Amino acid sequence: MKPSSRQPPAAGRRRPSQSRARQTSQALQDAFVRLLVEHGYAAITVREIVLVAGTGLGSFYEYFASKQDLARVCLHLRTKALLLGIRGVVASHAGQPLARIVEAVVDSQLQAHRERPEEWGAHYLLERHYSSAEAYRKMYERFVDAWAGAIESASDLPPGYPVRAAARVSQTILYGLFAHAHLGTPRPDPSALRIEACTAITAYLKAVMV
Protein backbone atom coordinates (compact mmCIF):
# COMPACT_ATOMS: atom_id res chain seq x y z
CA MET A 1 0.00 0.00 0.00
CA LYS A 2 1.41 3.36 -1.06
CA PRO A 3 2.10 5.60 1.95
CA SER A 4 0.20 8.84 2.09
CA SER A 5 2.04 11.95 0.90
CA ARG A 6 0.12 14.17 3.30
CA GLN A 7 2.27 15.60 6.09
CA PRO A 8 1.02 15.57 9.68
CA PRO A 9 0.31 18.99 11.19
CA ALA A 10 3.29 20.67 12.80
CA ALA A 11 3.47 20.06 16.52
CA GLY A 12 2.35 22.88 18.73
CA ARG A 13 0.36 24.76 16.04
CA ARG A 14 -3.34 24.72 16.87
CA ARG A 15 -6.14 27.07 16.10
CA PRO A 16 -7.07 29.18 19.15
CA SER A 17 -9.97 27.76 21.08
CA GLN A 18 -13.20 29.72 21.32
CA SER A 19 -12.60 30.31 25.02
CA ARG A 20 -9.14 31.70 24.33
CA ALA A 21 -10.52 33.91 21.57
CA ARG A 22 -13.14 35.27 23.96
CA GLN A 23 -10.49 35.92 26.59
CA THR A 24 -8.32 37.85 24.12
CA SER A 25 -11.26 39.88 22.84
CA GLN A 26 -12.37 40.65 26.38
CA ALA A 27 -8.86 41.67 27.41
CA LEU A 28 -8.75 44.15 24.54
CA GLN A 29 -12.17 45.53 25.48
CA ASP A 30 -11.17 45.87 29.13
CA ALA A 31 -7.95 47.64 28.16
CA PHE A 32 -9.83 50.05 25.92
CA VAL A 33 -12.32 50.94 28.66
CA ARG A 34 -9.53 51.43 31.20
CA LEU A 35 -7.67 53.78 28.86
CA LEU A 36 -10.92 55.52 27.97
CA VAL A 37 -11.47 56.40 31.62
CA GLU A 38 -7.86 57.46 32.17
CA HIS A 39 -7.10 59.40 28.99
CA GLY A 40 -10.22 59.89 26.87
CA TYR A 41 -10.97 58.45 23.46
CA ALA A 42 -8.92 60.81 21.29
CA ALA A 43 -5.67 60.07 23.16
CA ILE A 44 -5.93 56.27 22.92
CA THR A 45 -3.81 54.38 20.38
CA VAL A 46 -4.03 50.76 19.28
CA ARG A 47 -0.48 50.19 20.53
CA GLU A 48 -1.48 51.37 24.02
CA ILE A 49 -4.51 49.09 23.97
CA VAL A 50 -2.50 45.96 23.15
CA LEU A 51 0.18 46.92 25.70
CA VAL A 52 -2.39 47.18 28.49
CA ALA A 53 -4.19 44.04 27.31
CA GLY A 54 -0.95 42.06 27.13
CA THR A 55 -1.51 41.02 23.52
CA GLY A 56 0.11 41.85 20.19
CA LEU A 57 -0.92 44.03 17.28
CA GLY A 58 -1.62 40.93 15.24
CA SER A 59 -4.07 39.68 17.84
CA PHE A 60 -5.83 43.04 17.91
CA TYR A 61 -6.47 42.99 14.18
CA GLU A 62 -7.75 39.42 14.35
CA TYR A 63 -10.74 40.71 16.31
CA PHE A 64 -11.11 44.40 15.48
CA ALA A 65 -10.59 46.38 12.29
CA SER A 66 -9.63 49.58 14.12
CA LYS A 67 -9.90 51.52 17.35
CA GLN A 68 -13.25 52.80 16.11
CA ASP A 69 -14.45 49.24 15.61
CA LEU A 70 -13.43 48.30 19.15
CA ALA A 71 -15.23 51.38 20.49
CA ARG A 72 -18.38 50.39 18.61
CA VAL A 73 -18.28 46.88 20.06
CA CYS A 74 -17.78 48.14 23.61
CA LEU A 75 -20.66 50.60 23.27
CA HIS A 76 -22.92 47.93 21.81
CA LEU A 77 -22.21 45.32 24.49
CA ARG A 78 -22.67 47.71 27.40
CA THR A 79 -25.90 49.08 25.94
CA LYS A 80 -27.11 45.55 25.24
CA ALA A 81 -26.61 44.65 28.91
CA LEU A 82 -28.93 47.50 29.91
CA LEU A 83 -31.50 46.45 27.33
CA LEU A 84 -31.49 42.83 28.49
CA GLY A 85 -32.06 44.04 32.05
CA ILE A 86 -35.33 45.74 31.05
CA ARG A 87 -36.45 42.78 28.97
CA GLY A 88 -35.82 40.46 31.89
CA VAL A 89 -38.37 42.35 33.99
CA VAL A 90 -41.20 41.04 31.83
CA ALA A 91 -40.24 37.46 32.65
CA SER A 92 -39.71 38.06 36.36
CA HIS A 93 -42.45 40.60 37.21
CA ALA A 94 -45.28 40.13 34.71
CA GLY A 95 -48.68 40.46 36.37
CA GLN A 96 -47.51 42.83 39.10
CA PRO A 97 -48.71 46.44 39.54
CA LEU A 98 -47.20 49.04 37.23
CA ALA A 99 -45.40 50.86 40.04
CA ARG A 100 -43.63 47.64 41.04
CA ILE A 101 -42.63 46.97 37.44
CA VAL A 102 -41.13 50.45 37.20
CA GLU A 103 -39.10 49.77 40.33
CA ALA A 104 -37.88 46.49 38.85
CA VAL A 105 -36.79 48.19 35.64
CA VAL A 106 -34.92 50.91 37.53
CA ASP A 107 -33.30 48.28 39.76
CA SER A 108 -32.11 46.36 36.71
CA GLN A 109 -30.35 49.46 35.43
CA LEU A 110 -28.85 50.26 38.82
CA GLN A 111 -27.48 46.74 39.05
CA ALA A 112 -25.74 47.12 35.70
CA HIS A 113 -24.24 50.49 36.70
CA ARG A 114 -23.29 49.55 40.25
CA GLU A 115 -19.74 48.36 39.51
CA ARG A 116 -17.22 50.83 38.09
CA PRO A 117 -19.50 53.86 37.67
CA GLU A 118 -16.58 55.81 36.22
CA GLU A 119 -16.61 53.44 33.24
CA TRP A 120 -20.26 54.24 32.64
CA GLY A 121 -19.42 57.93 32.66
CA ALA A 122 -16.86 57.29 29.93
CA HIS A 123 -19.42 55.16 28.10
CA TYR A 124 -22.04 57.92 28.00
CA LEU A 125 -19.48 60.50 26.93
CA LEU A 126 -18.21 58.28 24.12
CA GLU A 127 -21.74 57.45 23.06
CA ARG A 128 -22.56 61.12 22.59
CA HIS A 129 -19.51 61.77 20.44
CA TYR A 130 -19.21 58.51 18.54
CA SER A 131 -22.64 56.95 17.90
CA SER A 132 -24.24 57.96 14.62
CA ALA A 133 -27.75 59.39 14.70
CA GLU A 134 -29.09 56.33 12.89
CA ALA A 135 -27.43 53.86 15.27
CA TYR A 136 -28.67 55.83 18.27
CA ARG A 137 -32.26 55.91 16.97
CA LYS A 138 -32.26 52.17 16.31
CA MET A 139 -31.01 51.35 19.79
CA TYR A 140 -33.38 53.86 21.37
CA GLU A 141 -36.33 52.14 19.67
CA ARG A 142 -35.21 48.81 21.10
CA PHE A 143 -35.35 50.32 24.58
CA VAL A 144 -38.81 51.72 23.86
CA ASP A 145 -39.89 48.23 22.75
CA ALA A 146 -38.54 46.76 26.00
CA TRP A 147 -40.33 49.39 28.08
CA ALA A 148 -43.56 48.75 26.16
CA GLY A 149 -43.32 45.06 26.97
CA ALA A 150 -42.75 45.80 30.64
CA ILE A 151 -45.66 48.27 30.85
CA GLU A 152 -48.04 45.93 29.02
CA SER A 153 -47.28 43.17 31.53
CA ALA A 154 -48.68 45.24 34.45
CA SER A 155 -51.79 43.94 36.19
CA ASP A 156 -53.40 47.35 36.71
CA LEU A 157 -53.11 48.82 33.23
CA PRO A 158 -56.45 50.33 32.16
CA PRO A 159 -57.96 49.66 28.71
CA GLY A 160 -56.74 51.97 25.98
CA TYR A 161 -53.58 52.93 27.83
CA PRO A 162 -51.08 54.63 25.44
CA VAL A 163 -48.36 52.06 25.96
CA ARG A 164 -45.99 53.12 23.20
CA ALA A 165 -46.02 56.81 24.08
CA ALA A 166 -45.62 56.00 27.77
CA ALA A 167 -42.70 53.69 27.00
CA ARG A 168 -40.95 56.40 25.01
CA VAL A 169 -41.22 58.98 27.78
CA SER A 170 -40.18 56.43 30.43
CA GLN A 171 -37.00 55.62 28.53
CA THR A 172 -36.25 59.31 28.01
CA ILE A 173 -36.55 59.97 31.75
CA LEU A 174 -34.50 56.92 32.70
CA TYR A 175 -31.72 57.55 30.19
CA GLY A 176 -31.51 61.24 31.02
CA LEU A 177 -31.21 60.66 34.75
CA PHE A 178 -28.66 57.86 34.49
CA ALA A 179 -26.50 59.51 31.85
CA HIS A 180 -26.45 62.86 33.66
CA ALA A 181 -25.68 61.22 37.00
CA HIS A 182 -22.72 59.27 35.62
CA LEU A 183 -21.31 62.10 33.54
CA GLY A 184 -21.20 64.44 36.52
CA THR A 185 -19.27 64.54 39.76
CA PRO A 186 -19.20 63.29 42.45
CA ARG A 187 -20.07 59.65 41.85
CA PRO A 188 -23.81 59.00 41.69
CA ASP A 189 -25.66 57.92 44.81
CA PRO A 190 -27.56 54.75 43.77
CA SER A 191 -30.22 55.21 46.46
CA ALA A 192 -30.93 58.79 45.45
CA LEU A 193 -30.89 57.88 41.77
CA ARG A 194 -33.41 55.09 42.40
CA ILE A 195 -35.79 57.43 44.20
CA GLU A 196 -35.52 60.08 41.48
CA ALA A 197 -36.08 57.64 38.62
CA CYS A 198 -38.93 55.70 40.24
CA THR A 199 -40.70 58.86 41.38
CA ALA A 200 -40.45 60.64 38.02
CA ILE A 201 -41.45 57.66 35.87
CA THR A 202 -44.25 56.44 38.16
CA ALA A 203 -45.71 59.94 38.45
CA TYR A 204 -45.77 60.30 34.68
CA LEU A 205 -47.33 56.87 34.09
CA LYS A 206 -50.03 57.54 36.68
CA ALA A 207 -50.80 60.92 35.14
CA VAL A 208 -51.37 59.24 31.78
CA MET A 209 -53.97 56.96 33.38
CA VAL A 210 -56.21 59.91 34.29
The residue range of the domain holding 55 is: 16-64
Q: Dihedral sign, CA of 47, 52, 55, 59?
A: negative
Integer Cα distance of 78 and 82 in angstroms: 7
Is the pLDDT at 6 greater than 80, yes or no? no
8 falls in which pLDDT band (50, 70, 90)? very low
pLDDT in tens, 50-106: 999 999 999 999 999 999 999 999 999 999 999 999 999 999 999 999 999 999 999
Say yes or no: 158 and 197 in one domain: yes
End residue of a domain, out of 27, 45, 64: 64
Residue 210: per-residue pLDDT: 72
Q: Which of 6-15, 135-144, 151-160 has the lowest mean pLDDT?
A: 6-15
Residue 185: per-residue pLDDT: 81
Say yes or no: 109 and 200 in one domain: yes
**In a domain? residue 7:** no
Helices (H) and strands (E) in the chain, counts: 9, 0
17 falls in which pLDDT band (50, 70, 90)? low
Confirm if 123 and 59 have CB atoms less than 8 A apart: no
